[in-house]
Amino acid sequence: MRFQDQIALVTGGGKGIGRVIALRLASDGARVAVTGRHQADLDETAALIQKQGGRGIAIAADVGDEKQINELFDGVRRQLGPIRILVNNAGIAGPTAPVAQMSRASWDGVLAVNLTGPMLCCRAALPDMLAQGGGKIINIGSVAGKRAYALRSPYAVTKWGLIGFTMTLAQEVGANSIQVNIVNPGPVAGERLRRVIEDRARELGQPAKAVESFYLEGTALKRFVTPEDVAATVAFLASSEADNITGQSIDVSAGHGL
């Protein structure tokens, strides 16, 4: 129970990777708050945490909305206590389209959730971590933040930016024993990847199977990552075993892009 009585907040915790991360932290003793836009999904995650014997709460919020973020953090403090672990997992895939056809609204929407959201959450969590003499911030990026990604420019830009934000924040708060790292998944099996493949296939006029092979063949291990793979790395970085790891960009990608 390496997170016994520690308070963790996982954004985008209603399903997918975020839900698995929340369950993993709770299984190690953390009291976990999950947030996202859909209350029903969040409630289901909280119920799963409670079913496995943990303490979980669900508070809906849009991470790109500053007022909602401030209310979210106030609610977590009231119900659970000061936050020690923050996992910025919330993110949207955004459009699949060339820049020549990109709308400003689509661009701004992805940046608001994927890049401004983590900044707002970090800013809101830091007072708790400073008061406790330490904390853990784990951002969830993507291997898309390390290479060109045609037809997905806003998504790629936010993940590139999140790596830079992680490194900069790690330097700013390191003297306060706060570690900040980013985990970059490769293609993760699940509903999100299925939608990404379908959207790309439609844009390119190719069969979905061909696009799936494009992603799969891009990995050295010739397999997709699982949400559990990502959650295990997050749990390690959130633990005392990783107290001297900060400012790092860690790929969990099955060797994607090697």
Tens of pLDDT, residue by residue over 123-139, are 999 999 999 999 999 99
The predicted model gives 9-27 an average pLDDT of 98
The predicted model gives 6-19 an average pLDDT of 98
Q: Measure the CA–CA gap between 134 and 173, rounded to whole angstroms.
A: 9
Backbone φ, ψ for residue 65 (5° rounding) = -105, 115
Q: Are 236 and 29 in contact (CB under 8 A)?
A: no
Mean pLDDT across the chain: 97
pLDDT digits (tens, 9 = 90+) for 190-240: 998 999 999 999 999 999 999 999 999 999 999 999 999 999 999 999 999
The predicted model gives 146-168 an average pLDDT of 97
Share of the chain above pLDDT 90, in %: 97
Judged against a pLDDT cut of 90, whether residue 86 lies above it is answered with yes
Judged against a pLDDT cut of 90, whether residue 257 lies above it is answered with no
Q: Measure the CA–CA gap between 118 and 120, rounded to whole angstroms.
A: 5
Backbone φ, ψ for residue 85 (5° rounding) = -125, 125
Instruction: Give the pLDDT of residue 40.
Output: 98
Catalytic residue among 159, 209, 215, 222: 159
Handedness of CA 158, 145, 16, 214 (dihedral sign): positive
Residue 256 three-state SS? strand
Judged against a pLDDT cut of 90, whether residue 1 lies above it is answered with no
Query: Does the annotation count 155 as an active-site position?
Result: yes
Judged against a pLDDT cut of 90, whether residue 142 lies above it is answered with yes
Domains present along the chain, CATH in parentheses: 7-186+226-252 (3.40.50.720)
Assign 258 a pLDDT band (cuts: 50, 70, 90): confident
Catalytic residue among 155, 209, 215, 222: 155
Provide the terminal-to-terminal Cα distance of the chain, rounded to the nearest Å. 36
What secondary structure does DSSP assign to 87-135, as a single string? EE--------S-GGG--HHHHHHHHIIIIIHHHHHHHHHHHHHHHHT-E
Instruction: Give the pLDDT of residue 175.
Output: 98
Instruction: Give the pLDDT of residue 256.
Output: 93
